[in-house]
Amino acid sequence: MIYGILALSLTLIWGYAGIMSFGQTAFFGIGAYAYGAIGLNLINRTQQTHAAVLGGLVVAAFLAAVVGYFMFYGRISDVYASIITLALTLVLFAFAVSTGGDEWVIGVARFGGFNGMFGQGESSQ
């Protein structure tokens, strides 16, 4: 369902507005990265992940609003909007790779925590 919403956002902005944007994947990734970072590092194991979901949404929406403000109120043309959003996606990909390493690890995920798999032992690596 989440990937369907991602595809719907691209359909709306490209199909109806005529602007080819690669920024959907960037903000999708920002939201997922923020959710993972908040969920693994800031929330106790006994709490629900609602705060992490909300944090991921807020971080992604804020950064999308900042980029959208400069692009659309700066009168950026359609071609340049595509180039800027592609560059943004590549910069965020480089950031994720450099901070998470080859395996994109942002913390230690354990079974039995707030991922819904209660009663399991820790994963052995």
pLDDT of residue 45: 61
pLDDT of residue 58: 94
What is the DSSP annotation of 14-65?
Answer: IIIS-----HHHHHHHHHHHHHHHHHHHTS-TTS-THHHHHHHHHHHHHHHH
pTM: 0.68
Give me the tens of pLDDT residue by residue for the chain, a chain 125 residues long.
777 877 887 788 778 877 778 888 888 888 888 888 788 777 666 566 788 888 899 999 999 899 888 888 888 887 888 888 889 888 888 877 776 655 555 555 544 444 444 554 555 44
Q: Residue 96: how many CB atoms within 10 A of its CB?
A: 16
Q: Report the interhelical angle of 50-72 vs 23-41 (nearest 10°).
A: 150
In the chain, where the domains are located: 2-33+59-100
On whether the CB atoms of residues 71 and 81 are closer than 8 A, the answer is yes
